[in-house]
Amino acid sequence: MTSKMLVWILVALILTVARFADAQQGSKPRRIGYLSPYAGPEPRFEAFQQGLRELGYVEGKNFFIERRFAELLRSLAEELVGLNVDIIFTSTTPAVQAVKRATSTIPIVMILAADPVDAGLVSSLARPEGNVAGLTSISADLYGKRLDLLKEIVPQLSRVAVLRDPNFSSRSPKAYKEVESDTEKLGLKLQSLDVHQPGDFEGAFRAATKARSQAGIHFNHTVIVANRKLMTELALKSRLPMMLNDAQFMDAGGLMSYGAYGPDLFRRAATYVDKILRGATPRDLPIERPVKFEFIVNLKTAKQIGLTIPPNVLVRADKVIR
């Protein structure tokens, strides 16, 4: 075989591989819509992008992302649908609900949805039966574990305040009932702090102080997620030990957080996007649960509110802010 023939064979092989790659991911760049309830990009979103890169996707070459960040979830969801994107990736139950109301045909990949079955997003975790697939942040007894941790740092704990938007609680009542059950098992009384808008937060924390609640927890309802900085600042001002749901709520000096490890969920969400872009349908992709969790303690905040974190709690923390 001559060197010239070898060169032509190599060229043909390269072209074949290139055509195969195009066929696998499509020659036309795909458009992914991303809707977040936060006011700006989430640091964990990089994990999703990294997951796509690991699967061979190159942003700007074979896919583009239309990003939308804000509290006005419904109008932004409709905007993404109007752009006729190939798939929509979004986080938290309220954001997924907004997208699902806007489209029943465009595939939706979700993460951080607390209980997608109870919220009416999917028929079951094993077989979604709709246009929604992805990962849930639900895990057995998450709130029970959060309450256990609060009892360890506040030994005299007898009354816990829970911050929620009652409109969302009425649409997804199971989570609130589970919190009621968990507090009852631990011999605790539960005080509901209802917030509908940013102006309600100060009054809610005043009510907690008046009722002598000794600690607090919260739901990831839209108004709470969007005003998480205000919530953590008021908790600090009220000297109320607050157990937050994940690391995203620690950015304003939160005391503690315990929840699913966000970067892992974002990275795993990329595999769902890949499967759907290659032809899979959401209805046939089981919803996955978190496998990694993160517990963070902020000793600076503990000192500010006059709280001592026991050594046996500190040693279990994945991250300690000093």
pTM, to two decimals: 0.77
Q: For residue 81, is it within any domain? A: yes
Residue 304 and residue 173 share a domain: yes
Q: For residue 9, is it within any domain? A: no
Residue 157 and residue 247 share a domain: yes
Residue 33 and residue 131 share a domain: yes
Name every residue whose Cβ is closer than 8 Å to that of residue 84 and which is 6 or more positions away in sequence: 31
Residue 311, burial from CB neighbour count under 10 angstroms (0-12, 13-18, 19+):
exposed
Q: What is the DSSP letter of 70?
A: S
Residue labelled with tokens 């050594």: 311
Residue 170 and residue 115 share a domain: no
Q: What are phi and psi of 136, to 5 degrees?
A: -105, 155
Name every residue whose Cβ is closer than 8 Å to that of residue 52 and which is 6 or more positions away in sequence: 59, 63, 270, 273, 274
Q: Number of C-alpha atoms within 13 angstroms, CB side, residue 187?
A: 5
pLDDT of res. 222: 79
Domain count, the chain: 2
pLDDT of res. 226: 82
Residue 311 and residue 215 share a domain: yes
Residue 11, burial from CB neighbour count under 10 angstroms (0-12, 13-18, 19+):
exposed
Residue 122 and residue 268 share a domain: yes
pLDDT of res. 290: 93
Residue of 160, 146, 113, 133 lying closest to 259 (CA atoms) = 146
Q: For residue 46, is it within any domain? A: yes
Q: What is the pLDDT along the chain (322 residues), one digit of tens a residue?
A: 444 333 333 333 333 333 434 444 456 899 999 887 766 667 788 899 999 999 999 998 999 899 887 667 789 899 999 999 999 999 888 889 899 999 999 999 999 888 899 888 999 999 999 999 999 988 768 999 999 999 999 999 999 999 999 887 656 678 888 899 999 999 999 999 999 999 999 999 999 999 999 999 999 887 888 888 999 999 999 999 999 998 888 978 899 999 999 999 999 999 999 999 999 999 999 999 999 999 999 999 999 999 999 999 999 999 999 9
Q: For residue 76, is it within any domain? A: yes
Beta strands at 293-298 and 256-260: parallel, antiparallel or unpaired? antiparallel
pLDDT of res. 270: 96
Contact of 244 with 254, CB cutoff 8 Å: yes
Q: What are phi and psi of 318, to 5 degrees?
A: -80, -25
Residue 90 and residue 65 share a domain: yes
Bridge partners (DSSP) listed for residue 87: 32
Q: For residue 14, is it within any domain? A: no
**Alpha-helix runs per DSSP H in the chain:** 3-25, 45-54, 73-82, 93-102, 142-153, 166-171, 173-185, 201-210, 222-226, 228-237, 262-277, 299-304, 311-314
Tokens of 188: 């605790």
Three-class DSSP labels, 17-59: HHHHHHHHHCCCCEEEEEEECCCCCCCCHHHHHHHHHHCCCCE
Contact of 111 with 88, CB cutoff 8 Å: no
Residue 299 and residue 161 share a domain: yes
Residue of 194, 198, 235 lying closest to 216 (CA atoms) = 235
pLDDT of res. 10: 35
**Sign of the torsion formed by the C-alpha atoms of 86, 92, 94 and 95:** negative
pLDDT of res. 251: 79
Residue 234 and residue 284 share a domain: no
The region that residue 146 occupies, defined by phi over 0 for left and psi between -120 and 50 for alpha, beta otherwise, is alpha
- Using alpha carbons, list the distances in angstroms from residue 186 to 8, 83, 175: 75, 50, 17
Q: What is the dihedral of CA 298, 300, 305, 306, to 10 degrees?
A: 110
Tokens of 34: 């991303």
CATH number for the domain harbouring residue 131: 3.40.50.2300
Question: What residues make up the domain containing 185?
Answer: 142-259+294-321
Residue 122 and residue 44 share a domain: yes
Q: For residue 8, is it within any domain? A: no
pLDDT of res. 19: 40
Residue 160 and residue 242 share a domain: yes
> How far apart are the C-alpha atoms of 21 and 38, rounded to whole Å?
35
